[in-house]
Chain A
């Protein structure tokens, strides 16, 4: 048993690795730049400031980095010149697509361009020189360090320094047709600046290897995961991890209560149905379960909401939310009552489908069991009927529905979206729904990872409990 447990626990790691890989792939396939929702016009924006905020934005999500491997340190000056030329249509025929691609590359290559841009300040084409200087402004920007790791105070101090450094270079450009002295002065500033700061923008041999593997979206993704750094939400600019953890308690309580309720009601119904097979009550129960199981949860929820809450015929329940917001100090008991009052309808909706499914399996399980020989043996020994049912029949009949727990948990977690949206409960389901709408991919990713992890644990618990309950299982 212990061996089996350890083995299963160990298997969690590769499975979770694969899950995060899948999520990574899915999120990177995402078209539509995130934050496109927060921009007024998607695409072309001549406003320098907007461009700037978009660039910072991309940085935060590492979207300016290549996905898998990074070879940007191998750029040649000629390549960079080519990019400048294409992006600004300086020479020859350039299609719109090529121009946009070059623009994006210039944006994304960032620090890797600096070395070459400085060289291009002395290019034969004055336009190239000007553009080099203009591009240097953004290319020279250093990235901030994450304030969510190790030492936040230190990180913030470092970031203040970086911010100052970044600001200082922002004026070092010249407009078209500026006098030669201005051009020379700016170029000189850059070159001076470069001699001092060269270290930040060149890569030694080992640094190159490091960059090759680790300065990529993929690597940053893993590194973030391990540090539980899910980034910042585009919607509210707060660290996602904290938000998700905050919402977790709502979702978890909902899911766990729902699971417990479902099992606690389903088992007696199943046993009852099995024993009263064919009677009218059994048929009635079967039909009712069938209806519950065939109705979509969003329908049940909406109907209950409209029917039993304020304004409509029966105003028995509140119109949603987890609890009443009030600043008055409530006792724990009162607060608990309030929460329960709020949760009656959502719970009823949430459990309906799983309850129906479990009941039917429980019923089938018990029906099969009561035909078994060992039940006859138990009766022949003189045991009373309740003991026969509970100790012998149920114990065996429940084994199959315990395995259902494994499949139930991911389904319940997924279903929470609908419940939370309809009843306005601030759990992870509602969070991911809003995040999807706002294209807040950090939040989406965090919720996907957290909920998958929870589901994985749930399946693990289910498998282990199954092995625990049925002594016939051999562990290999």
Chain B
């Protein structure tokens, strides 16, 4: 109607472009760095490897049929079978396998379709998608944990062999690497590297490569959960110390000092030796009990710095409760260094766990990389030394790289 277009009129109908939030700024900085993105992708791949490990390596066939009758999938049935996957970690990852495969594409589609929307509706949809997926996961996992299955322990390759000897026609479709991480064939002890066994076999006849692959599950679990544990605890302690100061601070600092002084590995090994049947759970707690001091100090330093700033005074003047001030005002600002520490922490936790396993004080029932290396050291088989060493190096290296990426992304002086 008007002949002159006024710029502000044209924009009036649309939503104004969103100013980036702090999180978005940091993420933006992160993706501008090749090494950071590369390491994130690498870790994502590792995670996928951990989740889909049974798809890659399993001695339960995908499909099984004898004499043309009774088509079944022992692989599927074994996914939640406690006789085969004895460890809770495996059940957890197998649940992830199922849920991620089923629900993953849906969540991915939601993320993809919302990529151009404005912030509020986009975050809402994405959050809902993730929550739904998470809820589904919890339901399945609770179900599987509460009602454990235990069917017979059939070792299919041997069954196949004996059936064939009997003259029956067996149709079995196996995973690309038809070995299990825990069933060993005592006829095939200490085989060298071959096309069949990429990294040979160990003292119990188990395929080393399969164990290496499943070892990813162990390392990632320990790393992530131990860190989640001690970061939470450490942050809480650090926040208390930094915020309240005075004798609370002094007391917490003394405790921190005490824990730091005792050489961590000594203490870890001592406590680990107390436990008769060490499980991953125990190891995580032990590692966490010694490592919490690091985030505590970081958070304390941040709180000491931040609590004198004006926005805190403003919050107090507005009448906010202290707990609100701590958790909703100051803490989000202090999380930067914590995030960096967490990433490096996962790397250190993995190193600690593998050291423990190397020294024989880890969880013997699971295929830990450190343990494989220990066997290698004892028997002198090079592959068993180099392969897990490389696996550890790869994982730790990617984590360190990502940690540096996060740290640089958070640094305002390094803004690109």
Direct A–B touching, Cβ under 8 Å: yes
Bound Cα distance A418, B266 (Å): 10
- Which residues in window 8-49 of B have CB below 8 A to A? none
Could you say which residues of chain A place their CB within 8 Å of the CB of B259?
Answer: 22
- Which residues in window 368-403 of B have CB below 8 A to A? 370, 373, 376-377, 380, 382, 385-386, 389, 392-393, 396-397, 400-401
Interface segment among B100-108, B199-207, B350-358: the answer is B350-358
Number of interface residues of B (CB under 8 A): 43
Interface segment among B175-183, B267-275, B326-334: the answer is B267-275
Per-residue B-contact encoding for A323-345, CB less than 8 Å = 1, 0 else:
00000000000000000000000
B187 close to A (CB within 8 Å): no
The one of B266, B267, B396 in contact with A294, judged by C-beta atoms closer than 8 angstroms, is: B396
Across the interface, do A26 and B260 meet the contact criterion of CB distance under 8 Å?
no
Bound Cα distance A109, B157 (Å): 60
The one of A15, A298, A452 in contact with B358, judged by C-beta atoms closer than 8 angstroms, is: A298
The one of A290, A297, A410 in contact with B264, judged by C-beta atoms closer than 8 angstroms, is: A410
Across the interface, do A26 and B382 meet the contact criterion of CB distance under 8 Å?
no
Per-residue B-contact encoding for A289-313, CB less than 8 Å = 1, 0 else:
0110111111100110010000000
B262 close to A (CB within 8 Å): yes
Bound Cα distance A447, B274 (Å): 17
Could you say which residues of chain A place their CB within 8 Å of the CB of B397?
Answer: 290-291, 294
Bound Cα distance A15, B258 (Å): 6
Across the interface, do A19 and B258 meet the contact criterion of CB distance under 8 Å?
yes
Bound Cα distance A192, B262 (Å): 53
A439 close to B (CB within 8 Å): yes
Per-residue B-contact encoding for A410-447, CB less than 8 Å = 1, 0 else:
11011101100110000001001100110100001001
Interface segment among A29-37, A45-53, A82-90, A256-264: the answer is A29-37
Could you say which residues of chain B place their CB within 8 Å of the CB of A410?
Answer: 260-264
Could you say which residues of chain A place their CB within 8 Å of the CB of B266?
Answer: 413-414, 417, 429, 432, 447-448, 451
Could you say which residues of chain B place their CB within 8 Å of the CB of A14?
Answer: 254
Bound Cα distance A122, B351 (Å): 65
A23 close to B (CB within 8 Å): yes
Per-residue A-contact encoding for B188-223, CB less than 8 Å = 1, 0 else:
000000000000000000000000000000000000
Known: A26-B270, A26-B271. A411 touches B347 (CB 8 A): no
- Which residues in window 239-298 of B have CB below 8 A to A? 254-255, 257-267, 269-271, 273-276
Interface residue tally of chain A, by bracket?
A: 35 or more
A456 close to B (CB within 8 Å): yes
B359 close to A (CB within 8 Å): yes
Could you say which residues of chain A place their CB within 8 Å of the CB of B265?
Answer: 414-415, 417-418
Could you say which residues of chain B place their CB within 8 Å of the CB of A418?
Answer: 265, 355, 358-359
Across the interface, do A455 and B261 meet the contact criterion of CB distance under 8 Å?
yes
Could you say which residues of chain B place their CB within 8 Å of the CB of A23?
Answer: 262
Across the interface, do B267 and A448 meet the contact criterion of CB distance under 8 Å?
yes
Across the interface, do A411 and B264 meet the contact criterion of CB distance under 8 Å?
yes
Known: A306-B385, A433-B359, A444-B270. A295 touches B258 (CB 8 A): no
The one of A32, A299, A436, A439 in contact with B392, judged by C-beta atoms closer than 8 angstroms, is: A299
A18 close to B (CB within 8 Å): yes
Could you say which residues of chain A place their CB within 8 Å of the CB of B389?
Answer: 295-296, 299, 302-303
Shortest beta-carbon distance from A404 to chain B in Å = 13
Per-residue A-contact encoding for B161-180, CB less than 8 Å = 1, 0 else:
00000000000000000000
Among A15, A436, A448, max chain B CB count under 10 A is at: A436
Across the interface, do B354 and A296 meet the contact criterion of CB distance under 8 Å?
yes
The one of B264, B273, B392, B401 in contact with A296, judged by C-beta atoms closer than 8 angstroms, is: B392
The one of A293, A436, A455 in contact with B269, judged by C-beta atoms closer than 8 angstroms, is: A436
Could you say which residues of chain B place their CB within 8 Å of the CB of A414?
Answer: 263-266
Across the interface, do A22 and B258 meet the contact criterion of CB distance under 8 Å?
yes
Across the interface, do B347 and A459 meet the contact criterion of CB distance under 8 Å?
no
Across the interface, do A296 and B263 meet the contact criterion of CB distance under 8 Å?
no
Shortest beta-carbon distance from A28 to chain B in Å = 11
A407 close to B (CB within 8 Å): yes
Could you say which residues of chain A place their CB within 8 Å of the CB of B347?
Answer: 294
Per-residue B-contact encoding for A451-462, CB less than 8 Å = 1, 0 else:
110011001000
Across the interface, do A452 and B261 meet the contact criterion of CB distance under 8 Å?
yes
Per-residue B-contact encoding for A176-213, CB less than 8 Å = 1, 0 else:
00000000000000000000000000000000000000
Shortest beta-carbon distance from A275 to chain B in Å = 19
Across the interface, do B274 and A29 meet the contact criterion of CB distance under 8 Å?
yes
Could you say which residues of chain A place their CB within 8 Å of the CB of B373?
Answer: 298-299, 302
Across the interface, do A421 and B392 meet the contact criterion of CB distance under 8 Å?
no
Could you say which residues of chain B place their CB within 8 Å of the CB of A455?
Answer: 260-263
* Beta-carbon nearest neighbor of A421 in chain B: B359
Across the interface, do B382 and A306 meet the contact criterion of CB distance under 8 Å?
yes
* Beta-carbon nearest neighbor of A295 in chain B: B393
Could you say which residues of chain B place their CB within 8 Å of the CB of A15?
Answer: 254, 257-258, 261
Across the interface, do A26 and B267 meet the contact criterion of CB distance under 8 Å?
yes
* Beta-carbon nearest neighbor of B396 in chain A: A294
Shortest beta-carbon distance from B305 to chain A in Å = 17
- Which residues in window 1-50 of A have CB below 8 A to B? 14-15, 18-19, 22-23, 26-27, 29-32
Known: A417-B269, A436-B273, A448-B266. A298 touches B261 (CB 8 A): no
Bound Cα distance A306, B389 (Å): 14
Among A30, A291, A296, A302, max chain B CB count under 10 A is at: A296
* Beta-carbon nearest neighbor of B398 in chain A: A294
Shortest beta-carbon distance from B414 to chain A in Å = 11
The one of A293, A295, A439, A452 in contact with B263, judged by C-beta atoms closer than 8 angstroms, is: A452
Bound Cα distance A418, B370 (Å): 12
The one of A19, A30, A290, A291 in contact with B261, judged by C-beta atoms closer than 8 angstroms, is: A19
Could you say which residues of chain B place their CB within 8 Å of the CB of A413?
Answer: 263, 266
The one of A27, A31, A303 in contact with B386, judged by C-beta atoms closer than 8 angstroms, is: A303
Shortest beta-carbon distance from A234 to chain B in Å = 14
Bound Cα distance A76, B393 (Å): 64
Give me 5 A-to-B residue pairs in the complex whose CB atoms sit less than 8 angstroms apart, sorted by A's number.
Answer: A22-B262, A26-B267, A414-B263, A417-B269, A455-B263
Which A positions have Cβ atoms within 8 angstroms of B? 14-15, 18-19, 22-23, 26-27, 29-32, 290-291, 293-299, 302-303, 306, 407, 410-411, 413-415, 417-418, 421-422, 429, 432-433, 436-437, 439, 444, 447-448, 451-452, 455-456, 459
A-B interface, 9 closest residue pairs, ranked by CB to CB distance from nearest: A414-B263, A414-B265, A299-B389, A294-B397, A413-B263, A294-B396, A436-B273, A455-B261, A18-B258
Which B positions have Cβ atoms within 8 angstroms of A? 254-255, 257-267, 269-271, 273-276, 347, 351, 354-355, 358-361, 370, 373, 376-377, 380, 382, 385-386, 389, 392-393, 396-397, 400-401
Given A302-B385, A411-B263, A452-B261, list of 5 further CB < 8 A pairs? A15-B258, A23-B262, A407-B260, A411-B264, A433-B269
